[in-house]
Amino acid sequence: MGGSDDQTEGSWIWSADGSELVYTNWYPNEPNHSDGENCLKLSALYHWHWNDANCKKVLFQFICEKGAVGLKPIIGQNYQEEGERIYVQVIQLDTLKLGVRYRSLSIYLSAAKCSFGGLD
């Protein structure tokens, strides 16, 4: 998902710019740093909560973070794109908007993108 704590254990940051994670959605008892897990992942197996994972084994999706002053919450939208149904999960907390979109053909996020709703 683009976050890690490999620089300082327990201090999770976004890999893109080194900023601290403002919002977290950890699965119960995570992160646990089992087997040297320092990277963030999002998985259907964890009911779309976050889990820490081994960075060398993570081949998962990503999430984007962008300020969202004045936006209304949007939850569980779906729409058609290039003949496929795309499901979009957007969560807003105060001025923070988190968004992820994925194709319905996979239990995992097969094609996460950050272009929906201005999340670039």
**In a domain? residue 6:** yes
Q: What is the pLDDT of residue 16?
A: 74
Q: What is the pLDDT of residue 106?
A: 34
Q: Are residues 42 and 7 both part of a single domain?
A: yes
Instruction: Tell me the CA distances in angstroms from 5 to 16, 51, 79, 94, 102, one per residue in order.
Output: 13, 12, 35, 25, 26
> Could you read off the pLDDT tens digit of each residue along the chain, which spans 120 residues?
678 898 889 899 887 788 888 778 888 999 998 888 888 887 777 777 888 888 776 555 555 555 544 444 444 444 445 555 544 555 544 555 555 544 443 333 333 344 444 444
**Spatial separation of the C-alpha atoms in residues 84 and 105, rounded to whole Å:** 9
Domain count of the fold of the chain: 2
Q: Is residue 117, in this structure, part of any structural domain at all? A: no
- Domain of 9, in residue numbers: 1-60
Same domain? For 54 and 101 the reply is: no
DSSP state of 6: S
DSSP structure class, residue 58: -
Q: What is the CA radius of gyration of the chain?
A: 14
pLDDT of residue 59: 55
Residue 92 falls inside a structural domain: yes
